[in-house]
Amino acid sequence: MATAVKPDIKLEPSPNPFEVAQQQLDEAAELLELDTAIHHLLRWPLRELHVTLPVRMDDGSTKIFHGFRVQYNDARGPTKGGIRFHPDETIDTVRALAAWMTWKTAVVDIPLGGAKGGVICNPKELSDGELERLSRAYIRQVGRMLGLKKDIPAPDVYTTPQIMAWMADEYAFMKGYNEFGVITGKPLALGGSAGREDATARGGIYCLREAGKILDIQLDGATTAIQGYGNAGSFAHKLGAELVGLKVVAVSDSRGGIYSKDGLNYSDVLAHKQNTGSVIDLPGTEAITNDALLELDVTVSIPAALESVCTVRNAADIPAKIIVELANGPTTPEADKILYKAGTYVIPDFVCNAGGVTVSYFEMVQNAYNYYWTEQLVHERLDEKMTAAFHAVHDVAQVYNVHNRLAAYLVAVNRVAEAVKLRGWVA
């Protein structure tokens, strides 16, 4: 193994994710010479709702939870964005994610804006009944903001198709009729889309495939490390091997990671995680921390967990040739500059992980006319969208001689700013 095991040491406080999002926007606005009023408008959410949720627990007690829904910008269409259940959720995290969703829908050129929601809770400590009551309580409070022409939620960290089904049912009860398209990421039996489950990872692998062509890097057999083994990370393992031949040598989750120079078999890792709740201690592997995983000498690094894991303190120690950002906001602005100077090719998050929202959009379209596509057709249309977005960003990066994240902002912000101006929001 190229990097010694070392403890996860936090040498600096995690940056505020919303301040990071604003800083990234500011840099793009300067290059675009954006109108001052438009720039200031795009720095803040158009609206947000804070909610307090009393939930009856299994033991008969009532516990109070707090949640949020942020609608960042709807100039290009109804807002769209996931709902997170996470113990460390904050309003600034939700604001940042809603901003990134705004840029994400714009960069893949789908007619939606950006939103995000979250509840401060630890779903691992809740029973299925408690999760259902919490999910329904959340929709009862934020439902007034939702609708096919207003705001369409989806799953995110620690939320599932089953949770989306409960939410869709609660919304239908509130309205008095079914409107399945108002919640995406649903089970197939309730109007979900084929191909939604692995869409985030699949879109990222399509982008990686294109990067390999541009950089003339052989991906078949390329060593890869994946930080985060939830939906996106686990499917990145599976699809990375199947679609481009990646050799995954390390993976991790919130409890730690594993490494094997000979490569990790997807089926073995998945079965072990399902049986034990974590990837750690898989027989035949070495232990590795989440920090050390990012610093492995691999060709491809895939951060697929939470934000701000690549910062100024570790960016210079990341030797990967390509970083595939399946997580939201894994790299800080200062780290971007270090990686760019080092020649690391970063596929930025709101391009790379846009496969999820793209197929959610496909789900909305299918719900709208009540006719459903085959999985093959979903894959083909996702490939078309992701490939076009990747090359739009790469081409702008070459024209402006900037790193890919800034190029992605230039593409997305320009599209949103044009909509704002055409609608007459800013004179």
Catalytic residues: 116
The answer for residues whose C-beta is within 8 angstroms of residue 116's C-beta and 6 or more apart is 69, 70, 72, 81, 82, 83, 84, 94, 95, 97, 98, 101, 156
| Tokens found for residue 326 | 């399946």
Q: Is 280 in contact with 287 (CB distance < 8 Å)?
A: yes
Strands 247-253 and 223-227: parallel
Which residues face 118 on adjacent strands?
68, 84
Tokens of 259: 């490494």
Which tokens hold the place of 238?
């599976």
Six-digit token string for 210: 């294109």
Length of the chain: 427
Tokens standing for 309? 């894991």
C-alpha to C-alpha distances, 274 to 46, 197, 265, nearest whole angstrom: 41, 17, 14
Q: How far apart are CA 125 and CA 52, in angstroms?
A: 19
Beta bridge mates, 153: 81
* HSE-CB for 9 with a 13 A CA cutoff: 6
Query: Where would I find the beta strands (DSSP E) of 90-222?
Result: 113-120, 151-155
Q: Is 288 exposed, middle or buried (0-12, 13-18, 19+ CB in 10 A)?
A: buried
CA 319 vs CA 8, 298, 338: distances in Å: 18, 7, 12
Using alpha carbons, select from 162, 146, 203, 170 the residue that is nearest to residue 364: 146
Phi–psi pair at 60, nearest 5 degrees: 95, -15
Backbone angles phi, psi at 348, to 5 degrees: -70, 150
